[in-house]
A and B are shown apart, each in its own frame.
Chain A
């Protein structure tokens, strides 16, 4: 099985799979496992203190278990395309040569000398006795964990599922029997006047600097948004010696207080909210102004053209700005945390069915009770099924691993059911917490939309403004979908493949055309989901 992503979901799944004898390849963009939440500094860093990723007990346990498991590990490698997953015609070019023969494009026996390859903590390609993830077992039609037969109307050709990667070893094509996608989530980009100025970052981005690079990317910080992450990052910046001028949360204090009171009802370990509460206490002790019901309306340039100040305004109970409360705070970095968007592009490119789930961060990948996506052989876990935090992601990863083990014939369905029982109990508990969080930390979407002017850049890759999209919709009154607006305006056609502008563009199109945002759809996800050199595509090894 190939696992894309080495965050909580991927690590949990890979460990369960390997523990039961599956041959597992883990592909991850980062050089060390942990994902965003348990991100570790580069292995070569010698700074004192515990690596950030292992400061959290749950993360430490996951990383340690994965380090023990015999995994094949491709770090620093982007999984850029899934091929042959959709129902359809035979892919004659991808047909196996002969039973037992090694497929020519299967991953090589080893990748010695890969720069920045597996850190000592994780067994890498050199692990003795770990066979190729591609193997030579043809994909067979069969029944899934709970007896669901693969739809006989859409039979799978043998070994047609393929994963294309690009990393230190170049472009490679993997033929896994099963595929698990755990691509995680990214910071929700929120356009407003000045948001493209140098110095305006996402809270998650600032956290990467602090956690992984031990670097404070500025002098005087303002943190703002609608997610408890801004409190956590502010406290981390403070601990790293930065000046935090202000933390502004759009959430109003009464809503937060209610959520904190309800915390015991959510049971279990309370994850983000508790972490936010601890961070809030630390900020209070340091006398950092933390203001609730306060929102950024503009980022203003300083003399050198980079961020100089942040304009803030107070929000009334209905989320609208209170007139006369506008003020400016000097800062050279503004870190924004409005929540997360599931990184669904690889799963969507593969052809997995999606569902619009506002509480889960937008478009999410549909799955069944064993985390199987709509495509045979493809499993999904973690934030791409709806943003719900690291613990939930790890639980989903375990379920996916157990489900896949039965499909691989390595675990009896009854045993999988038994092992899944405590995981399912945990997921039910977490479901309650997720609902609580979703109800509390809501971005004031209407107010955010109202501060955007026609000059505000929406798609920063192609420099398409709000005004350009509005006038395209006026000029072409028949256009009503994200894809149609993308084609005529170029919004979403740039280097980021639309990851950055899609949420705001879809909301704008929905508002301008009087549709529900789900009806606007999403940009079609295409390979490569991250850019790769043309030469690498033309010359795979």
Chain B
């Protein structure tokens, strides 16, 4: 039986990044991925680096927004983490931080935008509301219907096709072992650590285990008899044919679902939370099947793009679905699971944007017990009431 210091379950951004940090610090690490690396949410999201609160975090009123804002210290950390990532991994990961705009088209939305920016500024985020000529000078491509925008200069994009694989390569260089195409089917506590059983019959031992399994987080936690309230949500995205540079910023909307940016390859990516439908098998949601696209979401997704009229003229190449993981309070789950020593989890929140930060903080916690930012606020312990053993 192979023994490791740490077994990481999941080959997405978080898993590969955690393996990178731990392996570089000298831990022996094995990463287990049931499919291909970067095959699910990490490779399917549109690569937004949004440090402002997202639409879904501010859509349900002031209290909900104030609660979601408790993740802002992580957003501030992530701004720096992404800026230094290409150097850290010694390869390009498509990071461009040319600023992001969250738009308002009605006086009420503009009002909400102002309150949101004030809340974010209290946490130290650089964000200001621009209107009128100042906004037109900043973003002349916007439709006349846009009344104002919250501008966060550090926002931008990264290339989700490249980031996870770059972390995986770095982890491998540092000595981590990666197994793909093999699924964890058993996770039991054993003397001095954990015993992991794979679907090909292999059994591994690890002192600590990191659940970096995205929408499968609850399924993996349940193997250790732990209930985590992490909710898979199926989403759809749209990409246009490549076009000459027309959209330097990340675009979001305070009043509806929209995230839009132009990739380094010239394609415009449009998302922002338009739902897809999970498939079912024998009546149950099947997380392994790509969610079905809903026509209404494709139409809504495309319609949301009209705030940048030039985009409407581009051909749509592809719409696709993916799934992300949300928590009931919209805060991340990040840290060690109570009563399961050595079992760690991270998911939820703005998980692509915050992935490098989650990974570093988890690794620091595991290595020294002292992360460089306090993470108690995001501990799975807040859901301890769901677990009696």
Contact = CB atoms under 8 A, between A and B. Distances in A.
A interacts with B: yes
Interface string B295-323: 11011001101100001111111111000
Contact of A478 (B168, B306, B314, B320): B168
A95 to B, nearest CB: 11
Contact of B292 (A154, A164, A351): A351
A447 interface: no
B289 to A, nearest CB: 8
A497 B318 contact: yes
Interface residues of B, number: 50
Contacts of A539: 303
A497 to B, nearest CB: 7
Given A484-B39, A528-B316, A476 B279 contact: no
A539 B302 CA distance: 9
A162 B292 CA distance: 13
Nearest to A173: B295
A479 B37 CA distance: 7
Main secondary structure of the interface of A (DSSP, over half): loop
B74 interface: no
Given A83-B295, A484-B39, A537-B298, A89 B320 contact: no
Nearest to B44: A487
A537 B161 CA distance: 26
Given A83-B293, A86-B292, A490-B265, A532 B316 contact: yes
A453 interface: no
B296 A94 contact: yes
Contacts of B279: 86-88
B317 A480 contact: no
A50 interface: no
Contacts of B295: 81, 83-84, 93-94, 162, 164, 173
**Residue of A93, A154, A162, A535 most packed against chain B (CB within 10 A):** A535
B302 A538 contact: yes
Contacts of A484: 36-39
A303 interface: no
Which of A494, A526, A528, A540 has the largest number of chain B CB atoms within 10 A? A526
Contacts of A476: 37, 165, 168-169
Interface residues of A, number: 44
A527 B315 contact: no
Contacts of A528: 316-319
B165 A534 contact: no
A534 B293 contact: no
B290 A538 contact: no
A213 interface: no
B122 interface: no
Contacts of A480: 36, 180-181
A495 B243 CA distance: 12
Most chain A Cβ neighbours within 10 Å, of B181, B241, B299, B306: B299
Nearest to A105: B295
Contact of B314 (A94, A481, A493, A533): A533
B278 interface: yes
Interface in B76-108: none
Contact of A89 (B240, B277, B314): B277
Interface in A463-512: 475-476, 478-481, 483-484, 487-488, 490, 493-495, 497
A533 B313 CA distance: 6
A153 B314 contact: no
Contacts of A481: 36
A89 B278 contact: yes
B20 to A, nearest CB: 15
A526 B318 contact: yes
B369 interface: no
A89 B181 CA distance: 28
B10 interface: no
Nearest to B309: A535
A535 B238 CA distance: 13
Contacts of A535: 302, 312-313
Contacts of B315: 495, 531-534
Given A93-B296, A476-B169, A483-B36, A497 B317 contact: yes
B241 A531 contact: yes
B312 A534 contact: yes
B283 interface: yes
Given A87-B281, A480-B181, A488-B162, A533 B265 contact: no
A526 B320 contact: yes
A483 B319 contact: no
B177 to A, nearest CB: 11
Contacts of A526: 293, 318-320
B162 to A, nearest CB: 7
B1 interface: no
A538 B305 contact: yes
Centre residue among B292, B296, B311 by max chain A CB count within 10 A: B292
B215 interface: no
Contacts of B303: 538-539
Contacts of A83: 292-295
B169 A475 contact: yes
Given A89-B280, A484-B38, A527-B319, A478 B241 contact: no
A534 B319 CA distance: 11
A538 B299 contact: yes
Given A528-B319, A537-B299, A88 B305 contact: no
B334 interface: no
B114 interface: no
A84 B295 CA distance: 9
B316 A534 contact: yes
B178 interface: yes
Nearest to A540: B299
A4 to B, nearest CB: 16
Nearest to B296: A93
A184 B33 CA distance: 37
B271 interface: no
Interface of A: 81, 83-84, 86-89, 91, 93-94, 153-154, 162, 164, 173, 351, 475-476, 478-481, 483-484, 487-488, 490, 493-495, 497, 524, 526-528, 531-535, 537-540
12 contacts: A83-B294, A88-B277, A89-B280, A94-B295, A480-B180, A495-B317, A497-B317, A524-B290, A526-B319, A534-B314, A538-B302, A538-B305
Interface of B: 11, 33, 36-39, 43, 161-162, 165, 168-169, 178, 180-181, 238, 240-241, 265, 277-283, 285, 289-290, 292-296, 298-299, 302-303, 305-306, 311-320
* Complex A-B, nearest 3 residue pairs according to Cβ-Cβ distance, in ascending order: A538-B302, A531-B315, A538-B303
